[in-house]
Structure 1
């Protein structure tokens, strides 16, 4: 065991928190998967648990491998990955598959693995690193709005436009996180106001086009509209999933029904992913729900500590940029489960089942641990790296 710890670098508290979340996820995923087995008639509960464990093991390997990479490589790597991400998003729209009934234009099926890959999660991670790079590179310079439109917002806009038709919630979250990062990174506040205005105008234009040509994007605008109406309707016309989630929460009480004893998991369609927090409350009660919230806030605290201790501006922005979305996604997932937010389709990081979400979260955590493991880096060695030089080093 001591030999293993010698190879693990970075914030040990983050390693511990991630391990606790992963181990805790076994029972809720195993319990909630009965819905897929007995209602949908697909696979076995033990099979879903094994698949989830394998995904987590691969995730930990991703964390380990990523945290061994000097974080300065992520700066140039984000530039290299931007065109790749754009290409993947185009392919996803063109030939995406349906995963468990989810919208077909969100996923690419990975052959021989049996896992669907949601390209928007990779795009979000690459965008946050790219924005952190831009802000760090221009920290000591006067930012001109016209120049930033092409250098910063054009790549951001292209990727968000490609994600928007299939996944509005992910687009909105990514846009919000990018705005928050630019604010933290010192991007002029009045320019952020311009970007918000342009974003609202672009969304309104998209909705009008979608309404005018409904065959181009069938059911997407109607889906968004129905979710908002179901959430805001006080007369009881609620979304079926939200209604079952509220029943699960109400019957959980303080101590819960006990592990594996959830009843609503048999009726909640996304019980092992989007609404797993409701199952956790039903089985582990208020105490279990608060414990999950506490663990995520503890992770947030360690992320902020890592950002504060970082020796370069890029490192600080990188940690904030890839770390805060993890916590934000967890908060949204839990808020949806308790009916504080409209249904979004966001999973609970490291607890919900699903390969893409787990792996991209692990990539982000690996980057954070790479920063916390680094010492005596300088801004020049990071931002002066040529992306092509990084590619040549990787090939060699």
Structure 2
């Protein structure tokens, strides 16, 4: 364990993240045969999709590592600054008016010059949960009216949900349920929460009425899709089952106990979204009930660790962060599995850290990184602060030594010049391998040479 001492926080959560990341490669690689012909029309290869998934996972693990190095209290400020950005991104995403098959599909934005798609609702849900946790922690042990909480807490939540709802009802519903669960944990008055449920019901009713008045409007076109999915789910007639569900059930039934074996899935060639929304069906087909239950077991371990660590969190904000960011990951996983076995209607929710897709993986990793930041023990936090202090002291000694030499040479060095020297040294250290401040090298030499 000594070689992993740079990984702070709950080691069990780290292990489950690694297991899920490793377990995702074979199913994604196997299911990508369908993408080669349906998405790229034979122009790409399964190896290309595997490399792409490897890049997504690698960036995701880097996000976990960077996020867990920050003290979790810093995320209060990040969420406060991020909320206006999130609302603007969601408004821009919805305004694109992208339509697929007659339905509103404004869920992604294209990043210029690199041709990369980014799903803003996934990013928004992570930032929103941190913001809600911050607001609840701030309002705790203070008296406030419903109107005050409406402005501070629910107005930003409502703004996010309004921009997500027209194109992605399942994500909007999941966010709302998770926020309600979070405010309940944060001891928000139940009477006020009842008012919120009433307002939400009025809002949904108004949305449906607008759809009935303007059924051809692109912003309400998804309502017919939601209605059709619920009707197909509620009926017992076999000929009205959804095509995707039919193929998923065939895949699961084919897997039996031990599965057909890695890469031997048949339904991946017929099942749409086999590498993302319905990847659980492919996993069961290839690895059987053993593989399916093993995956459920990993998510349950994560859920158990979230429960334990939320109870041990040093502050209310830390507790709410774990609940608000951790529980949605587990709920999303079981929603994905529930859809595959027809316990739930089709929702389009990916399987966390397993399904292909950059945005989903990265935002899940960001949430896990923040959770790991909360789970760091006091001695680990102290070690991080001590390391930062030692680096700053070593940097200060280095600059003072160089200033002394420069003064002896007749060069006038003021405070601004010292800060510029510190900045230059930090830049040079970020390029060096190892720690030049500790291993005896003098990064000031590189700075001088560069000048």
TM over 0.5: yes
Separation in structure 2 between the aligned mates of residue 197 and residue 212 of structure 1, nearest angstrom: 23
Aligned residue for 1:189? 190
Structure 2 unpaired stretches of 5+: 382-422, 427-451
Tell me which of the two structures has the higher relative contact order, counting C-alpha pairs closer than 8 angstroms and 6 or more residues apart.
1
Contact 2:34 2:270 in 1 (8 A): yes
Structure 1 residue 38: Cα displacement: 3.2
Displacement of 1:114 in angstroms is: 4.1
Bigger shift: residues 100-109 or 222-231 = 100-109
Q: Check conservation: 1:96, 1:107, Cα contact below 8 A.
A: no
Moved more, 335-344 or 115-124: 115-124
- 2:91 match: 90
Change (3 A) 1:165 1:102: closer
1:306, 1:372 within 8 Å by CA — same for their partners in 2? yes
Match of 1:17 in 2: 16
Cα distance in 2 between the residues matched to 1:99 and 1:34: 23
Question: In structure 2, what is the equivalent of residue 227 of structure 1?
Answer: 229
Q: Deviations over 1:3-55 (max 9, x none)?
A: 5x232111111111000001000000000011111344241111101100100
The TM-score normalised by the length of structure 2 is 0.81
The question of whether the paired residues in 1 share the 8 Å contact of 2:325 and 2:367 is answered with yes
Aligned residues: 378
Tell whether the 8 Å contact from 2:104 to 2:221 is kept in structure 1 after alignment: no
What does residue 291 of structure 2 align with?
A: 288
Cα distance in 2 for partners of 1:96, 1:22 equals 34
299, 320, 324: which one aligns with 1:321: 324
Structure 1 residues 103 and 254, CA, compared in 2 at 3 Å: closer, same or farther? farther
- Whether 1:309 and 2:312 are equivalent positions in the alignment is yes
Alpha-carbon distance in 2 for matches of 1:30, 1:113? 24
SS at match of 1:105: coil
Corresponding position of 1:387 = none
1:25-40 equivalent positions in 2, closer than 5 A: 25-40=24-39
1:168 match: 169
Kept in 2: contact 1:35–1:266 (CA 8 A): yes
Kindly indicate whether residue 370 of structure 2 is the aligned counterpart of residue 371 of structure 1: no
CA distance in 2, matches of 1:326, 1:39: 29
- Secondary structure of the corresponding residue to residue 108 of structure 1: strand
> Max radius of gyration: which structure?
2
Deviation at 1:126, TM superposition (A): 1.1
Secondary structure at 2:206 match in 1: helix
1:150 offset after TM fit, Å?
0.6
Deviation at 1:214, TM superposition (A): 2.2
RMSD, aligned CA:
2.1
CA pair 180-222 structure 1, distance change in 2 beyond 3 A? same
Distance 1:103 1:198 in 2: 25
Separation in 2, partners of 1:299, 1:96: 38
Note if 1:111 corresponds to 2:112. yes
Q: TM-score, normalised by structure 1?
A: 0.91
Shift of 1:171: 0.3
TM-superposition CA deviations, 1:339-395 (whole Å, max 9, x none): 000000000000000000000000000000111115399xxxxxxxxxxxxxxxxx9
- In structure 2, C-alpha distance between the alignment counterparts of 1:6 and 1:100, rounded to whole Å: 51
Are the aligned partners of 1:96 and 1:104 in contact in 2 as well (CA < 8 Å)? yes
Deviates more, 1:337-346 or 1:121-130: 121-130
CA contact (8 A) 2:353 2:361 kept: yes
Shift of 1:215: 2.9
Where does residue 71 of structure 2 map in the other structure? 70
CA distance in structure 2 between the aligned counterparts of 1:112 and 1:289, rounded to whole angstroms: 40
- Equivalent in the alignment of 2:156: 155
Task: Give yes or no for contact 1:277–1:333 (8 Å, CA) kept in 2.
Answer: yes
1:204 corresponding residue in structure 2: 205
Higher alpha-carbon deviation: 210-219 or 352-361? 210-219
Q: Is the 8 A contact 1:96 1:109 kept in 2?
A: no
Check the 8 A contact 1:296/1:327 in 2, yes or no.
yes
